[in-house]
A and B are shown apart, each in its own frame.
Chain A
Amino acid sequence: MTSAGLRRRVAREAKAAAVGWAFIGPATVVVVGLAAFPAAWAFYISQLKWNGITPARAIGFRNYAELVNDPELMSAIWHTAFYTALFVPTSVILGLLIALALNRKIRFIGVYRTAIFVPFVASAAATGILANYIFDPQFGFANNILRSIGLPAQSFLEDQRQAMIVIAVMSLWAGLGFTVVVYLAALQDIPKDLVEAARVDGANTWQTFRHVILPELTPVTVFTSIWQLIGALQLFDLVYTTTRGGPLGATKTIVYYLWEQAFRQFRYGYGSAVAYVLFALTLVITIVLFVYSRHAKVQAF
């Protein structure tokens, strides 16, 4: 190649690079500066003893060693797991059932859909405050309804055993719209001939659902499960606006504990270690779910 041609090529590539980086540069700077870099830095912080005021002290993996033996963290993990076990399967199964019911052309169907979707836009703060009102032991409507059908009034959010269940119920109220919408879209994407073919072959409604519709929905089920799971593991807002971790720590979740450690006790190092545990948990469970679903799907064929 002639040197003039080479120079032209270099100039062309330099221009392409300049134009390309002009497009991706600003957003990349934001993402690297506010996600990739802090995530890496958090790992470094997790190996410090640091309250933000006195000089930080490098202590290696001592924070991680401490958290393995931290009973408060263990109970926070347990509370989070309990909430996740309540919320994720219920939101996926009820979401599917409600989507099946909504997937038909009858009068008022638009009204029904709107009513079920609309709580999705309510913030966790508003949902939490609303939960305090509805489940208020004295003036709340939940107890009013229980009394009117002759059942004893409950303490709800003030009861150690009921508080997390009430939080899960309110999460479902606000979050079900999401799984319903996703399933409804997936149901409408299932080819009509597939269902009709099953009918022609003599399958009844249940068999059609079990062997035709449900397998078609598998990818959606995997994704809604993972999505809801990630959200459930990060529960904070509703706890902050209802019980603040109480009564007697019964609703203290991983993120609530992390927030307390980092921003109430100012233990930046320990808080970062807890955050990394959360990250690891999320990653492991997501990968397991994903691989398991792939594996199960392969076996199905």
Chain B
Amino acid sequence: MTTSTPPPPTRRRRRLPFSPFHLLLAPLALLFVMPLLQMVMASLKSDGEIRRFPPTWFPTSPTLAGYTGLFAESQVLRWLLNSVLVTSVAIASHLILCSLAGYGFARMRFPGRTASFILTVATIMIPTQLLMIPTFIMFSKVGIIDSLPALMVPWLASAFGIFLMRQFFLSLPRELEEAARLDGCSPFGVFWRVVLPLARPAMTTLAIFTLLSSWNDLIWPLIAIQNEDLYTIQLGLANFQGSRRTQWQLLMAGNVVATMPMVVFFLVAQKQFVATMTFSGMKG
């Protein structure tokens, strides 16, 4: 995305030596990154400095005390591990189940297909808040509430993911699949060897979408989890905050730990993230 053009040749006409849009965009960009920078800087301040008045912009003597305090006083590594587990299962399962179903809906004809597709798509409009109470009761009855599976099961597949994959498969030309079938490939063989290798862009979109929604989810872990050992990083931070209201260096260190993985992913794969955001805006 970095498109830099060489500076325009100097002209006789008197004008700014750069595009006037820099005057708008540079402060705006700064405004957007400032909170994140403040977060990182606060995490590197000492307890004394963070309470200093007036506040300092940069840590005068950077310290990792916020991080060591965080690791000592909370189970943040445990929470991170839980989040990684839940999110990994969510992504893996989404990729497998939604691409299988998306392909079935896009390419196969069999009784019940249309009915179950309509049912699936209809659930896209249901707000998750409507599902919280029955899901909580259901999971309590089968005894998985307050366990990691309670966080994983709701993320195994989603109507949105099925829809996304179906739309993608519909856009693929059929010829390759037909050729493979004539060569004696089974339906699953066609899917696995011919179709899936072509589906990487759609699967990347689905993976990023699932990554962001699952990693950042707060309300479901808040409802489903009581045991502090099973907190996700988001729930852990939200509740850790309650008891450490003004120990900002600890809280900001926690924020850095929770946010930086996603920021790094974003910086590494910005193109794919942007494609994901664009797709979610175009759906429907």
| A interface list, Cβ under 8 A from B | 13, 16-17, 19-24, 26-28, 30-32, 34-39, 41-42, 45, 52, 98, 101-102, 104-126, 128-130, 132-134, 136, 138-141, 144, 147, 173, 176-179, 181-182, 185, 220, 223-224, 226-227, 230, 233-234, 236-237, 240-241, 255, 258-259, 262-263, 268, 271-272, 275-276, 278-279, 282-283, 286
B238:A128 contact, CB within 8 angstroms: yes
Contact of B284 among A109, A111, A144, A223 (CB under 8 A): A223
Contact of A112 among B29, B137, B222, B267 (CB under 8 A): B29
Q: Is B97 an interface residue (CB 8 A)?
A: yes
B259:A123 contact, CB within 8 angstroms: yes
Q: Complex formed: what's the CA distance from A35 to B258 in Å?
A: 29
A114:B265 contact, CB within 8 angstroms: no
A220:B134 contact, CB within 8 angstroms: no
Other than A16-B109, A116-B29, A129-B238, give 18 A-B pairs with Cβ distance below 8 A. Answer: A27-B97, A31-B159, A32-B116, A39-B126, A45-B133, A108-B22, A108-B25, A112-B25, A125-B237, A178-B280, A181-B281, A182-B278, A182-B282, A185-B278, A227-B280, A234-B127, A263-B136, A268-B137
Q: Complex formed: what's the CA distance from A102 to B242 in Å?
A: 39
B252:A262 contact, CB within 8 angstroms: no
B38:A141 contact, CB within 8 angstroms: yes
B32:A119 contact, CB within 8 angstroms: yes
Q: Complex formed: what's the CA distance from A272 to B19 in Å?
A: 55
A38:B131 contact, CB within 8 angstroms: yes
Interface string of B203-233 (1 = CB under 8 A from A): 0000000001001101100110000000000
A19:B262 contact, CB within 8 angstroms: no
B39:A24 contact, CB within 8 angstroms: no
Q: Is B61 an interface residue (CB 8 A)?
A: no
Q: With both chains docked as a complex, state the minimum distance between the C-beta of A247 and any C-beta of chain B, in angstroms.
A: 15
B262:A278 contact, CB within 8 angstroms: no
A240:B270 contact, CB within 8 angstroms: no
Chain B residue nearest to A52 in the complex (CB): B137
B29:A27 contact, CB within 8 angstroms: no
Identify the interface centre among B2, B127, B222, B255: most chain A CB within 10 Å of its CB.
B127
Q: Is B65 an interface residue (CB 8 A)?
A: no
A-chain residues with CB within 8 Å of residue B125 when the two chains form the complex: 282-283, 286
B223:A263 contact, CB within 8 angstroms: yes
B108:A19 contact, CB within 8 angstroms: yes
Q: Name the interface residues of B152-206: CB closer than 8 Å to any CB of A.
A: 153-154, 156-159, 161-162, 187-188, 191
